[in-house]
Amino acid sequence: MVGIDRRAALGLLAAMPGMRAGAQGTPAPEGWPARPVRLIVPYPPGGGADVVARLLAPALSEQPGGPQIVIDNRPGAGGNVGTEQLAKSPPDGYTIGTITIGTHGTNPWLFPRLGFDPVADFSPVALVSLQPAAIVAAAGSGLTSLDDLLALKRETNFASSGNGTSGHLGGEVLRVMGRLPLVHVPYRGSGPAWADLLGGRVELVVDNIQNALPHHQSGRARILALTGTGRVALVPEVPAVRERLPDYLVQSWNGIAGPAGMPAEVVDRLGRLIAAARSPAVLARYAELGMEFPASSPAHLAGFIAAQLAFWKQVITGSNIRLE
């Protein structure tokens, strides 16, 4: 199993002052929030990160003293375009953003150059979702089970919502661990990937479970397996890949962060608003979408990012995974 080198993760965290608790030094703006807060989502509308943002935004805005959230989709380069814009935004508490397994886990090891440092350029606030990806076959592909997938001998395309996403890496790690002839086809978002799967132009999609469910339930596609820790209540008949490959585990995640130097008072306030958003109704909606809304904090997210960077460095460099 490719494990997380905890000492490396902690060393990475300690080396970057922007990620340590209490590092924010900019004074808090008076009367925050005095105007709407922009939430940059570095992926197109309709994708997993966008779904989480649009679920979280009203849960924050509806709280006493909560800011009005305006979602701003800024896709491109596997999430790097919008994330660079977040990093370069004024740290005044009025621009925050979604960070993901791609932007703060895999992309630093997949792209030769980034316009941001995933550690030093951000003020982490909270982890707001964890979920498995779904490995889905088109109805006419002839693939009907995880056993069929692991027995593949012919070259087979798998689509994802973009380079560096959990779908991309979920498929690539499966290719390596299962020794399968899979070829990645990146798309600019989940919508075009699903259109080509349903249109018969690709045979597999690896994407967030909430995007897969309607097509699985309609019979137009079939979820063969999940990439997480086990089965989920939404589709209890669908196995996790690790039932056959015990070392396999890829989970999509989303966090909320601001630019480095965001006032500590604003970081703390946002963190408390996010914690309060974990109401029974919101948690139930997450469960309906196959997601978990974990308890988190700025320090928790900082440590989580450091561990993800260390883990994916080992996976990507050790398996020689490259962008197409």
Domain count, the chain: 2
pLDDT of residue 165: 77
pLDDT of residue 262: 97
Task: Supply the pTM of this predicted model.
Answer: 0.78
Residues 115, 260, single domain; the answer is: yes
Angle, to 10 degrees, between the axis of helix 298-319 and the axis of helix 166-178? 40
Inside any domain, residue 72: yes
Residues 118, 158, single domain; the answer is: no
Whole domain around residue 192: which residue ranges? 132-243
Inside any domain, residue 234: yes
Sorted by sequence, the CB contacts under 8 Å of residue 108 that are 6+ apart come out as 114, 118, 309, 312, 313
Among 60, 59, 98, 54, CA closest to 79? 98
pLDDT in tens, the chain (324 residues): 333 343 444 344 444 444 444 344 455 567 899 999 999 999 989 878 999 999 999 999 999 999 999 999 999 988 999 999 999 999 999 999 999 998 999 999 999 899 999 999 999 999 999 999 999 999 989 999 999 999 999 999 999 988 777 888 899 999 999 999 999 999 988 889 999 999 999 999 999 888 899 999 999 999 999 999 899 988 999 999 999 999 998 998 999 999 999 999 999 999 999 999 999 999 999 988 888 999 999 999 999 999 999 989 988 887 777 775
On whether the CB atoms of residues 256 and 128 are closer than 8 A, the answer is: yes
State which of 243, 269, 295 marks the end of a domain.
243
pLDDT of residue 145: 97
Pairing assessment for the beta strands 37-41 and 95-100 based on DSSP bridges = parallel
User: Phi/psi zone of residue 245: left (φ > 0), alpha (ψ -120 to 50 degrees), beta?
Assistant: beta
pLDDT of residue 163: 76
Among 183, 188, 184, 190, CA closest to 209? 190
Inside any domain, residue 11: yes
